[in-house]
Amino acid sequence: MRTTGLPEPPPLGAHALPAGTYEGSTVFVTGGGTGLGRAIAVEFARLGAAVFVASRKAEHLAAGEEAIRALGARVASAPCDIRDPEQVAAAFDACERELALPDVLVNNAAANFPVPAEDMSPNAWRTVVDITLNGTFFCAREFARRHLRAGTPGSIVNVGASYAWTGGPGFAHSAAAKAGVKNMVETLAVEWAPYGIQVNGLVPGLFPHDDMTEDIKGNLARTSDKDVCQPALRVGRLRELGWAATFLASPYARFVSGHTLVVDGANWQRRTLTNPPVVTVREQMGRGPFEG
Ligand code: NAP
């Protein structure tokens, strides 16, 4: 029997939702200038949304703006470190001033790099948790406060990771933070549904892209052929994640809230009858013996 894996999706530019689904809507995307955030932002723009990009680096903001503008959509951006609630509020002010109060918040920004837990510095731990968990909360809170004041509905999509459930050897900081993000989806969905605010999670599987940090790229390079390591026999295509995000935040998913949707070709459910030999994180990363 041939094993061909999961079929390729429709081409870039196709969309499942009706054209103009987000006409008149504004979408605020943290980290929307790179990688998955930009791919998600682009799919919202393709469906008519105006997009606001928030992150720290000017070159990332410019790249995000360029990708959205190329589609003929309205776009604006502001530098923002999501760890700082005041900068978050200022970015929302800029979004309201230049576009509108965002109807959708995509909490995509996060930080990550692989490191054996025994080598992880307190600063590394704090930084990743601060960006991924605290920053996500500060943005969600800012978005909700503004909608509660205005009496308007809204939708939040928090980008997570499947090691929120399974643990993530080599990524203790990020896995713990993403577990917090998933839990936060469930809490906030209940707290804010009475005000018309949906809160969902979106978990990408492996979606390689050129903006990945050298650390992460290096780690992937060591698992030489990514496709055969996936049950789908392929990695994710960026547009597949964008389509999932635009569905979750759309009028067609209004009754979906508190849910975390995993888009990973079943990789996180993978179990084997015969497990391969254990390789420590140190060995996977080509590190020598612990000398701390
Ligand atoms: P990425 O390319 O490294 O992008 C991270 C983004 O977050 C950047 O645009 C960065 O922009 C922004 N950011 C980082 N720290 C920030 C801060 N303190 N304040 C504001 N913005 C900040 O990551 P990615 O691979 O596209 O991943 C996007 C999301 O998907 C993340 O939540 C990640 O955990 C999740 N994910 C990705 C994969 C994958 O295969 N790629 C798999 C599972 C989960 P600045 O540098 O300009 O601030």
- Considering only CA atoms, which of 57, 58, 71, 59 is closest in space to residue 27? 71
pTM for this entry: 0.96
230-253 residue pLDDT tens? 999 999 999 999 999 999 999 999
**Cα 177 to averaged position of ligand 1 atoms, centre (Å):** 13
Q: Say yes or no: CB of residue 211 within 6 Å of ligand 1.
A: yes
Look up residue 130 and give its DSSP letter: I
Q: Whose CA is nearest to atom 44 of ligand 1?
A: 161
Helix (H, G, I), strand (E, B) or coil at 256: coil
In 3D space, the residue among 22, 63, 62, 29 whose CA is nearest the CA of residue 45 turns out to be 22
Write down the pLDDT at residue 55: 98
Task: Look at the chain and count its residues.
Answer: 292
User: What is the predicted pLDDT for the residue at 220?
Assistant: 64
- For residue 219, the model assigns a pLDDT of 66
Residue 14: predicted pLDDT:
96
The answer to whether the CB of 111 falls within 8 A of the CB of 84 is no
Query: Which domains are assigned to the chain?
Result: 26-284 (3.40.50.720)
C-alpha 33 – ligand 1 centre gap (Å)? 9
Calculate mean pLDDT across residues 203-221: 78
Q: Tell me whether residue 163 is one of the annotated catalytic residues.
A: yes
CB-based contacts of 178: which residues, under 8 Å, 6+ apart?
110, 132, 160, 161, 163, 164, 168
How far apart CA 255 and CA 116 sit, in angstroms, is: 41
Summary mean pLDDT of the chain: 95
For residues 157-168, average pLDDT: 97
> Is the pLDDT score of 127 beyond 80?
yes
Q: How far is the CA of 289 from the centre of ligand 1 (A)?
A: 31
55 close to ligand 1 (CB < 6 Angstrom): yes
pLDDT(165) > 80? yes
Tell me, what DSSP letter sits at residue 134? Answer: I
Tell whether ligand 1 has an atom less than 6 A from the beta carbon of residue 80: yes
Task: Please name every residue paired with 200 in a beta bridge, in sequence order, or none if there are none.
Answer: 157
